[in-house]
């Protein structure tokens, strides 16, 4: 299953199929605008990176400044209709790492969640498209968008985040997702 600007995804269960279907319908209905920040269409596509340490034992999380929660790296597409590119760009911008490898061209996870109204911006949905990556070089450095960055051992993830969307990605990885991928180890 493929969506222009998003990529291919192999849903594993009912939740995956529902999220992918909602994302596909949103993109089909809004076209290029789905990748914008237009507050009048009810949401937008975002790109996220689940960045593993070089040994694959830890994931890089950011303590998000606005949301005050530990999350994966990622951000808005801002008109760029390429969620994979945006996820990789955000991973570089938010981590300080100098080399990151995209481990698969396939979408790793999709999570649709509500963002509450803030100031003039109405409540809206983030159609978050997540990709699996691995850090190859560089030292992490927090930006103004985060209070801190941390390499969190996958087994300790619950101590940092109770968010189902974050924990689900760790479970997906533990279930052997990467070994079933068609496009492994794409370096950028």
- DSSP secondary structure, 102-163, as one string: EEESS--EEEEEEE--BTTBPPEEEEEEEEEEEEEE------TTEEEEEEEEGGGGGGT---
Residue 18, pLDDT > 70, answer yes
Handedness of CA 168, 100, 62, 66 (dihedral sign): negative
Residue 183, pLDDT > 90, answer no
**What mean pLDDT comes out for the span 55-61?**
95
- What CATH number has the domain spanning 2-187? 3.90.79.10
Strand, coil or helix: 49: strand
* First and final C-alpha spacing in the chain: 24
d(CA 35, CA 41): 11
- Alpha carbons within 13 angstroms on the beta-carbon side of residue 58 total 13
Q: Kindly state the helix (H) or strand (E) to which residue 51 belongs, with its residue range.
A: strand 43-52
Residue 134, pLDDT > 70, answer yes
Q: Kindly state the helix (H) or strand (E) to which residue 84 belongs, with its residue range.
A: helix 83-95
Q: For residue range 166-182, what is the model confidence (pLDDT) as tens digits?
A: 999 999 988 877 666 54
d(CA 1, CA 22): 13
**What mean pLDDT comes out for the span 126-155?**
93
Dihedral Cα 36, 61, 142, 178, nearest 10 deg: -70
Residue 98, pLDDT > 80, answer yes
Q: Kindly state the helix (H) or strand (E) to which residue 87 belongs, with its residue range.
A: helix 83-95
Burial class (CB in 10 A: 0-12, 13-18, 19+), 39: middle
Domain ranges of the chain: 2-187
What is the model's pTM? 0.92
Highest mean pLDDT among 31-35, 67-71, 113-117: 31-35
Nearest-5° Cα angle at 117, 50 to 144 = 50
């Amino acid at each position: 299953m493929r969506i222009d600007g998003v990529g291919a995804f192999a849903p594993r269960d009912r939740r995956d199929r529902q999220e992918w279907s909602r994302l596909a319908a949103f993109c089909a209905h809004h076209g290029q605008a789905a990748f914008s920040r237009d507050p009048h269409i009810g949401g937008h596509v975002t790109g996220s990176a689940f960045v593993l340490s070089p040994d694959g034992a830890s994931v890089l999380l950011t303590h998000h400044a606005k949301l005050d929660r530990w999350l994966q790296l990622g951000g808005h597409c801002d008109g760029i209709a390429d969620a994979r590119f945006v996820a990789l760009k955000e991973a570089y911008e938010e981590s300080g790492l100098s080399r990151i490898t995209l481990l698969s061209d396939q979408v790793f996870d999709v999570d649709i969640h509500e963002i509450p109204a803030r100031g003039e911006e109405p409540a809206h949905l983030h159609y978050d498209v997540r990709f699996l990556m691995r850090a190859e070089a560089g030292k992490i450095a927090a930006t103004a968008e985060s209070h801190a960055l941390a390499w969190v051992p996958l087994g300790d993830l619950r101590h940092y985040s109770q968010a189902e969307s974050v924990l689900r990605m760790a479970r997906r990885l533990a279930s052997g997702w990467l070994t079933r991928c068609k496009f492994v180890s794409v370096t950028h």
